[in-house]
Every structure is written in C-alpha cells, then in structure tokens.
Structure 1
C-alpha cells in the first residue's frame, strides 16, 4: 500500500488518540464541582493521564522496535475509548482517575508505534511527519467543543460517545502492518531498512538525556495552558465556554504552526527552530493571565504553535539520532517528556492555589526559558565532529 494511504490511516489514528487526550481539560471545572476538587487535586487528572502514558511508554517503544506486533496500534485506541467512555459511569473521583489512567495507557502504546511508522526517511521528513502531528492537533482542537456539547446534553454519561471514532477506524489500524510493506521503522529501503548515522553511543545517550530534559521542562510550561486556562477563564468571569475556546484556539494555533515550523526546520535545522519557538513562548506565558479576552485567545494560539511545534521537532531530533529505534526515541518525548511534565501539574496547581494565576504563570515562563539550556548544549554536542567509521 502506498505511503500516502498509510500516512492517512496513521493520521486518523492520531486524530482519535489526541481527541481522547483533550476531552477532560475543558470539563475540569465540572468535575471539580461534582467531586469538590481544588486546583491542585484537579491537576491529578492531567497527572494521571500523562503519568500512565509515560511510565510504560519506553517499554512499549522497545517492544515495538523489537517485535513489531501489529495488534499494538488498534489496542491503543480501544484502551483510549474505554478509559474516556467510562469516566461518565463510575461513581467517584478515585475511580475516574483510574479510567483516565487506562486512557493514558492507550496513548503510551499509540505514540511510539504510530510515530515509528510515520517518520519517513526523506529530505522532507519534517513536513511529512508534521502531517501526522497536525491530525493529532485537529483532534485536540475539536475535543473541547465535543466534550462540552455531549456533557451539556447528557451529562458525564455522554462521554460514551467518544467510543465511536475508535470503532470507525479500528479495522484499518488492524491492517496497518500490511500497508507498511518493506519500510521497517519508517526507514528507507535504500539503506537496508536503517538510516546511516555517525554518533557514538555515549554521545547519543547524552543527547537523548538533554533533549528529554528539554521536553520535560517545555511540557511543564505547556500544561499551564492546557490544564489551567479553563480555570483562569472562570476566575476572570469569562465562563467555562470561553475556557473551552482558549483550548480550541490553542490547538488551532498548533495546526497552523506545526507544518510551518517543520518546513523551516527542514531548511534551517531542528535545533535552531526549536530554540526560537521556546524562546518566544517564555514571555508570552508570563503575560497570559494579564491580558483581555482577545489577547488571551491570541496568545493561547501562539503558545499552541510554539509548544506543539517544538515537541514535533524534538521527536525528529531523536529519530535522527536513533534511526533504528524510533519507537524508543518517540517515547523519550511523548513518554518521559510529557509524562514527567504531567507529574508536576499538581505542583503548578498548588502554586496557583497559593500565589494566584499571575505568580503561577511567571514561574512557568521561567521554566520554559530554562528549557533552552539543555537543548543548546545538545545542539553543541551534535555539532562537535565525530570520526566517521570506515
């Protein structure tokens, strides 16, 4: 099957997976009212989702790199559908956290598997991979409106609606191994199924650790928008609906920004563009709670473009450093980076509880700025010449 058809199926899967990952944040105020939660305890939903997707994602990445089990992709979507759908039927806060963790486990399986399939060896690698990433952002963008719509009509039980998208594409994801053909791990067949890379093992490990640290720091900052923008909207008297709008424009910004940033990275380099994106995001975070509604919407969109584009480029940086282990490379950013950042979401919520939104977002701005340091060191490490083996 052609690359285009395979990429279409993978992109639809990413749409569904990220749809599930973005259903709950706009419902945090509703869930907080039902269960009597503080900002910090509401942040446990984000922590549960990202922690479950991080804790075992490197394991799934390694398993897929080694065994390439075809059932892993459809299984990931089934777990996401079951986890999100059951949130509306369980009877307590702890049980709802468990459901969120089940959905997170689905994401832990999906990202290393689908990213390994979709990262093609090409001079346009960034642009092609961005198509896969954009589909996920579209899913995340429509999730707030769908979530608020179905819960407004049927309450939390309306979340069962979200099982439908997974069912519609399940058959095609089961056959994805047939579509992949002779392109193992997304590598080019011209190089024997593996891309050539001349980095020593020690340098790859150091680069991976540095890029992973940047991913964690950037995700802490990004969670400040995704997890707490709805609360900020309610606190400013703008309503829960405006909070959902902030999340939607955040992901719309990502949809526009990811292909542009990926194309620029094909021309100017992954590191340079990533540093520029995170450098722009830092001051915007500090200003976010101080703006009027129009300014908040605009900044939310720009922050979505910055953070999701940077995440995409960090994944590509590691794919190019570990071309034969793209599943594991993906899990460093999607798993360790997103999950590590998610674990600290309750801490961010606690800062907001104690110091208010202005203080919380200033701290997030500083964390975002500090994320540039390990990335700059990794860039320098990569540029140091390495002897090419005979």
Structure 2
C-alpha cells in the first residue's frame, strides 16, 4: 500500500513529461511546415524552458509552506493544453505563448509531485528512481507519439496530444486520494526531524545540474535534425535518434538508484559525468549508424545521476524539500533551454556540428563541480544513507 502513491505519481509523471519531450519532438515539423529557422525553432524550446525554470523553484517554495496536492491534476491539464494548441496557432508569437503556458503547467507539477513521492516512500533512492523513470518514459514516448499524431494530419493534428494530459490528471486524482492515507504521516515525521541546510553543497550540485541540462536539452532540440544529416536518413532516422536519447534515460535512471545503494550517490554522479564526456564526443563526431550507439551511451550517462540529484538536493536542504525539488527538477529539464537559442544561432551561422561541439566540455565541468562534494551527514535528512540502504535492498528483493 505504501508504494501505491509512488506508482501513481510515476505514471502521472510519464504523462506530464510527454510534454517536456514533445516540444523538442515537434521542432523538425515546425522547421518543415512553417519554414522556421534553427534559431526560431530553438526559441520554442526557450519558451517552454524559461518560465518553467523560473517557476519551478517558486512552486517549490510554496509547497514547502503548504502541501498543494490539487496542483497535480491542474498542472497536468495545463501542460497538455499548451502543447495541444501549439500546432493550430496562427502566428509565431501565439505559438510561443501556448508553449510557454505548457512549461508553467509542467513546472507546477514537479515540486509537489517530488515532495509527495519522497514523503510516501520514506526518502528511498530506489523509489525516487522509479518516480524519475516515469518522467523518462514520458520523454521517450514523446517523439513516437508526436510522429504518429503529425502523420495523421500535420501540425493541425496536435490537439490529439491532449490525451496523455487527461489520463495523467485522472492518475493524479487517484494519487491525491492515496496520499491522503499514506503520505501525510511520513511528511509529518519529515517536518519533525529536519537537519541543517547545506546551501554551499546544494549550489555546487545545482551548477553541475545546469551543465547536464544544457547538454541534454541541446541534444534534444537538434539530435533529430543532426541524425538525418550524419546518417543520410529521413524523418525515421531523426525520430529514432531522439527516441534512443530519451529511452536510454530509463535504463540510466534505474541503474543510478541501484548503483547509489552500493557506491554512494556522489561517487556515482562523478563517474557518470566523467564517462559522459567521450560519449558526447562520439555523438558529435562519429558518422553513420554508430551515432546511435554514442547517443545511447550519452543518454545513460546523463540519466544515471538524474534521480540522485533529486534525493541529494533534498538531503542537502532537508528544511526546504520543495525548494530543492523545484531547483533540481526545474534545472534538470529547463535551464538548458536558456542556452538553446545560442546553439540555434550558431547552427544557423555555421553548422549543427559546430553548435553541438561545445556540449562535449560541459560534463567535465559538472565533474569538477561535484569533485569536492560529500554525502550529506546522517542528520541531514529524514534518514541517513546507511538507513536508506536496507530499504533499497528490501524493495529490490520484494
């Protein structure tokens, strides 16, 4: 019964993050049907990301003061409505506006959902990796879903993309009922035994998250178009590359939770960033079908730390779990969008390869930022890393 709210939230997370992935998946179609430049197309990524990256920490501050479970279904519907309308708008400014509204809806979902998932699971790394996996699967499904919808009638068919939002809202409503029974006692215990906030470590980790975000969002925006160029394939080749980028994250997220139970979160995050450097280099520089292997390795490297960032941030700021969730989740999926117009402008001026080349360096910067960090002390969160280890093992066994 304790795991039921986490399961419902994971499924709802998948529905919501369809709309994170759908914006990037629709970029090639906006370029093809509306003759948008790379810079204009990346502006859509910025529109979804800018408000989302700013709004998520603000929603996190609100959820630190008051639990807001009603936000879950409302934000899911708002996230879906913006993307659903993006293909039927009559102008570029209006398209930017509805995509931005979708970003705000997505922003409202994540802090409250992460807070609730932590409360319901007792802060387990493994449970949080399952919650994160839901979002990764939503990302992975987005290019396939977008391609299928566009095939039925071009961009005019985007209202069909509202279906996951309706399903997600229903799941959220069920989760709210389950949380009323299961999550409230855990949340109360969390408030009774807070540790001290470690802002210095949290900010260093957040800098690493930004580096990861720029790499991931940059690849999300342009890997579909880049794969067509590098492999000589058509739309299917581009869709496949984006699908691999997102699906590899599902494997990486589950692996991250399991590895952290054995080696510690900070150690796993450091190794992930270090190994991502050659994987991104291969994605940018290797031609032909081998590009897909490099994309898969890049995806796994970027996603192994994903759920670990969330729990680590929450343990660095045990008195501000909502804020920590809003920053880590918000930056992880949004801050990279702030750099996407620069990448688009560089691609217009030179080439996609030239625009993607700087991404090779950023995982190394993330490794440097994480190099001196340590695991939070035993009193830093609701339970220590040592106390969490049996929970993770029990969940794997059962």
TM over 0.5: yes
In the alignment, the residues of structure 2 paired with residue 209 and residue 153 of structure 1 have an alpha-carbon distance, to the nearest angstrom, of 46
Match of 2:302 in 1: 307
Alpha-carbon deviation of 1:272?
0.7
Distance 2:148 2:170 in 1: 28
Q: Which residue of 1 aligns with 2:200?
A: 206
1:261 deviates by 1.5
Q: How does 1:149-298 map to 2 (within 5 A)?
A: 149-181=148-180, 187=186, 192-194=189-191, 196=193, 198-199=195-196, 201=197, 204-236=198-230, 237-298=232-293
| Count of matched residue positions in the alignment of Structure 1 and Structure 2 | 379
Say which SS state the counterpart of residue 22 (structure 2) adopts.
coil
| Structure 1 vs Structure 2 CA RMSD | 2.4
- Superposed CA offset, 1:1-27 (max 9, x none): x22221121011101111111113232
The equivalences for 1:1-390 within 5 A come to 2-120=1-119, 125-181=124-180, 187=186, 192-194=189-191, 196=193, 198-199=195-196, 201=197, 204-236=198-230, 237-379=232-374
Q: Which consecutive residues of structure 1, in runs of 5 or more, have no partner in the other structure?
A: none
CA contact (8 A) 1:124 1:266 kept: no
Instruction: Report if aligned partners of 2:218, 2:337 keep a CA contact under 8 Å in 1.
Output: no
Q: Is the CA contact 1:84–1:100 (under 8 Å) kept in the aligned structure 2? A: yes
Question: Normalising by structure 1, what TM-score?
Answer: 0.90
Asked whether the 8 Å contact 1:216–1:337 carries over to 2, the reply is yes
Shift in Å at residue 270 of structure 1?
A: 0.8
Provide the rounded CA distance (Å) in 1 between the counterparts of 2:244 and 2:345: 26
Pair 186,136 (structure 1): closer, same or farther in 2 beyond 3 Å = farther
Contact preservation (8 Å) 1:74, 1:170:
yes
Q: For the Cα contact (< 8 Å) 1:216–1:338, is it kept in 2? A: no
Give the superposition deviation at 1:184.
5.2
Distance 1:66 1:123, change over 3 A: closer
The secondary structure found in structure 2 opposite 1:319 is helix
Q: Greater shift after overlay, 304-313 or 164-173?
A: 164-173
